[in-house]
Chain A
Amino acid sequence: MTILETKKLGISFGGLRAVDDFSISIQKGQLYGLIGPNGAGKTTVFNLLTGVYKPTDGSITLDGENITGKSTIEISKAGIARTFQNIRLFKNLSVLDNVKLGLHNRVKYNLLTSIFKVGSYSRKEEEMNKIALELLRVFGLENEAQLPASSLPYGMQRKLEIARALATNPKLLLLDEPAAGMNPNETAELMETIKFVRDEFDMTILLIEHDMRLVAGICEEICVLNFGTVLAKGKTSEVLNDPRVITAYLGE
């Protein structure tokens, strides 16, 4: 079953063609890698998929629903969640509250009941606490629930960002350079976490990564971007041995 399909996706900033003719198709439960040299347009693709940028051409289909040109909020509700290259947690909020923000649209209660603390308020807050703590437990963060997010060590912040994204109940999870700034041990642990998320939540994951060990280790298929266009795509091992890909990465 296809979860994400982009057809001839493209965007121009003035005269600059940042992404052109980007077509991929990701199946349910797949771990898909998006790689390419710096400035190739990888994060731009993420911004197109999440509605931060509106595509100038092409279409995006998520689980059969056309989400081209929709707003960030609509796309979040449709089921795409992401993490960021430079971690963007809500630093002044607690670890638990960060995850509860991901639940914002899943649990609803009336504004007035929250002021007067009556009716559905306590029940719904409790429900949110339960779901959020459950998610934190999966990532081994339950003991840090009440700490401010900024006090967590780097690797845990990465995990928290993934937990927060999962809280929105996505169909597709986008990870933007999850291993950035991590040492080999942390990267190895992260690979396990990503595989675990895929299996445990039956999640489809699209990730951008420079760490080739991580990409080769967990991605079933990859797509190589260069100067905004698809250089190669397909099975990871085949693509990584493609001479054109090696040239793009290492030069002539």
Chain B
Amino acid sequence: MRTPKTVLKKVLVGLVLFSLGAFVAFLLPFLIASFGISDPWVHHPLFSILVMTVIFVVAYKSTEKLIKKFLEKYFFHKKTFAQMTLMDLAGDLTVNLDLQEIANLVVNTFGEVLQLKTVALLVSDPLQNHLEVASAYGWTLSASKGIRLATDTPLLRMIHQMGPHVLMRGPVLQSLAWQEANALARDLDSLQAAWIIPLFVKGELVGLLAFGALLPDTVFDQGDFHFFREFAAAIAPCVHNALVVKRLRELNFELQDSQSQWVQKTKLNAIEKLAAGIAHEIHNPLAIISGKAQVLLMQKGPKQLEPNVQDALNTIVKQTRRAADITRKLLMYSQGSRGPQEWVTLEKVLDETLALLAYQASMDKIEIVRNLDPELPPFYANMQEIREIFLNLLLNAVEAVGSEGKIVAELKYRRDEELIEIVCSDTGKGIPAEHLDKVFNPFYTTRHEAVGLGLFVTKQIVHRYGGSIRVESQIGIGSMFILQLPYVAEAARNTIAKRTGAPV
């Protein structure tokens, strides 16, 4: 294809050659005359044209090359421009600490400026002992994802041998015995790479750039390769720093996570001690209050109680039981001691729980829908705890709806992730966004009569099973609680038991 640039080049070559020819043709008669030859045909215009044609034909190729080089150097700046863009990029990268951004910038700029078919930047993951694709240009996302090079693959061994030089597919493969060459070619193919530019920092390989075959019309020469080396040396520290920052962020996150877990555990221990103490000290007086009221209520003989007295005594009995339940519940779940475990049919437990709520729900005109996975396996757990989970979620939902609405209880088995998912959604009033992270805190409640332990307790149970719980909510539309519990199949559990010699 003829671009305006190539036409311009051809015209310039023609002009230079023409003037060169004209100059020689003009000088030739004088030159010949100086040798003492003065034939009249020398001055004939045809002779000049002949000489010009000869010069044109002989010098065209080499002149064109010369002029091209000259033009590119001083007028079109083709490679210089590319190199400047890339060096600018390297400069920009030094202040960037985001690995993904760096990777995207590098591969996209290289791909576009050098007109490469594919470019991939791989970075090292020292914890996993491999390099993985951080970003790719010219690849489909799914193809580039998941490409990993273990540190002992032939390609990485070769790169370590060669040091910071550009690895060229053709010459390197030719220099190897066929078996080694095949192994190396496989690695290169997996990266669709014709050239590999390693990124070293202090002798440590932090990543590599893999260039795929060029689009036609582009060639690399020694200068380019020299430049690539320089570029690699310039960006390698950026990649290294970004990797360090990424690792630091991860560590920081882990630290925060374990710290909050620790705080949570300490909190629970404190609550447990407090609850045990309170239960001890309070349950005896409560037993006396309630007991005396019950003695009066249940006494036999001719004495009949006034209705209002009877009412008051009933209230005393009921309220003391309620007070005791608070401390009991708090104690039970802060202890974290698990009751006996068995294979629980979740569907059955859900139905039992729904039966408990059916009356209240029908009074409040709340429709409760079950949505069950037909392939739900039995779950190894403490029945009481599973019941507590369902009861807390559904009670909350009923309270949230108030009257007239719908509750959906879903049980799903996610086979691929090996998770049991319990979802409880309601058409209730919803939870304000600023309260979403508080709903699992102990004693958080929006109801006057509630203690605020339901969701806290649920979360403790879920955590004991290594699961997670989260909530999504929209004001006026409703809330959805999503629980995920890791499912361990019976066979796997038996193997674990055999291996550790302990019952699970």
**A in complex with B:** no
Q: A residues bordering B, Cβ < 8 Å?
A: none
